[in-house]
Copies of this chain bind each other. A is one copy, B any other.
Amino acid sequence: MSLSMERFDLVVVGAGISGLSTAYHVKVDNPDMRICIVDRNPTYAQGNTARSDAAFRDVFTSKINYEMSSSSISFYRHIQFDLGFNLGMHFNGYLFLLGKEKMNSPVIKELSKTVDSKLIGKEEIKELGFITEPDREAARMMNLDEIEGGFIGKNCGIMEPDLLAAYYYSELEKMGAEFRFNTNITRLNLQPKEKLDYPGEPFIWQDKYIESVIGGGTELKAEQFFLATDVWTGPLVEPLGIDPLIQPKKVQVFQVSGPGIEMMIGKGYDSDHSIFPFTILPSPSIDLRPDPKSKSFWVSYSEKIGRSYGLEENPVADNDFYSGNLYPVLREYVPVFIESKVSSSWAGYYSMNNLDGSYVLFREMNLSILTGSSGSGIMKADSAGRLASALISGKEYAQLYSGHKITVSDLGIKNRNVDRETLII
């Protein structure tokens, strides 16, 4: 049997966290299904999964995002603490630093009710090492808000997505799923169900399906296909007239080290915690992700206006971006950055659904597609996998690890039923 004749029940394109989670849940529910996960990289989790901010939160304004993230976090907690498979999870919290207007906004009031959280005042924020009143001239020039208070999400923190990927991968291996790495799928092979061998097929009046996926010298046939190709979904589906419904937004991450930062990293938001919370500055909303291993902060920012949408072959972070855009702000709010240096940097992409900020999960023919994680894919990956698995299996509902049920078509196009997420960082 030549390589090109291989046939599976399901081919998953993309061995990032979404593809792995989905394949895992499909395989758990359908042990006899022959599943192949194909990826262009030499192993799993080498795309945006490896380039993320590596944090989790359940602080979302939309119900669906809250349910998906809080259930996923519970499942990850179960893996790490019940099953003993370390995911590098720390519940060090998410600290949103807020100006006066946001501090008193209905969003914060509502979130205080729905998520496990606490509000802190200026004094506590100062004790954590921040300046709440930036220098007047700098504040004017850079539109910096005075920090009025902070919102701490408690069921939030940092984790290592590659370890989560390793968990799903090892379970998939045990269950007999097949992996095909170094295989860059570049084409979905659309064919009529009943071939007539006329030139110009498939015609508009023919029922169509994806017969195979092709690329890197390989052709994989399957009953069903699932794209977990994140920001690279467009180039695969647009030639077929399928809209990926997302834009790729580049996100740069800078690892910044220094003596003051090293001290700060070890300080929790209260005496029960010994790692600094993941922090979002008020405006511009720069993120600080503490990395206990390297004793540094990962500094990142996803630009609102000014950075082009689109894909580069090898996205890299630009140190001039750090020095011109991020450092001047950090210096004003977090004085330990004054004696610090960028020790490493990288860049990845967010798959942005700019219309409502939630996942889009839909099916065309025998092709299921998940896109639009919009910068919070890691923390929802388990729930997304359960939903995608339900779609692939033709189920109406997905039951999350939390027990909460979500109608699969709520995340689809035709019967889409999600409230717009306002807390996109």
A residues adjacent to B (C-beta < 8 A): 141-144, 190, 194, 196, 198-200, 202-208, 238-243, 245, 247, 249, 284, 301, 303-310, 320-321, 324-326, 328-329, 352, 354-356, 360, 364-365, 413-414, 416, 420, 422
A301 vs B203: C-alpha distance in the bound complex, in angstroms?
12
Q: Which partner residue on chain B sits nearest A205 by CB separation?
A: B142
Q: Which partner residue on chain B sits nearest A285 by CB separation?
A: B204
Known: A143-B206, A284-B204, A420-B414. A304 touches B241 (CB 8 A): yes
Task: Collect the chain B residues with CB atoms within 8 Å of residue A284's CB.
Answer: 204-205
A301 to chain B, nearest CB (A): 6
The answer to whether A204 and B325 touch across the interface, beta carbons within 8 angstroms, is yes
Most B-side CB within 10 Å, residue of A142, A205, A243: A205
Most B-side CB within 10 Å, residue of A144, A239, A305: A305
Number of copies: 2
The answer to whether A206 and B142 touch across the interface, beta carbons within 8 angstroms, is yes
A307 vs B303: C-alpha distance in the bound complex, in angstroms?
33
A370 vs B351: C-alpha distance in the bound complex, in angstroms?
23
Q: Given A200-B325, A243-B352, A355-B356, 13 other A-B contacts at CB below 8 A?
A: A141-B205, A142-B203, A204-B303, A204-B306, A205-B325, A205-B328, A238-B309, A239-B308, A240-B306, A241-B249, A241-B304, A355-B355, A416-B420
Known: A309-B243, A324-B200. A354 touches B205 (CB 8 A): no
A417 to chain B, nearest CB (A): 10
Task: Collect the chain B residues with CB atoms within 8 Å of residue A141's CB.
Answer: 194, 196, 205
Task: Collect the chain B residues with CB atoms within 8 Å of residue A320's CB.
Answer: 200
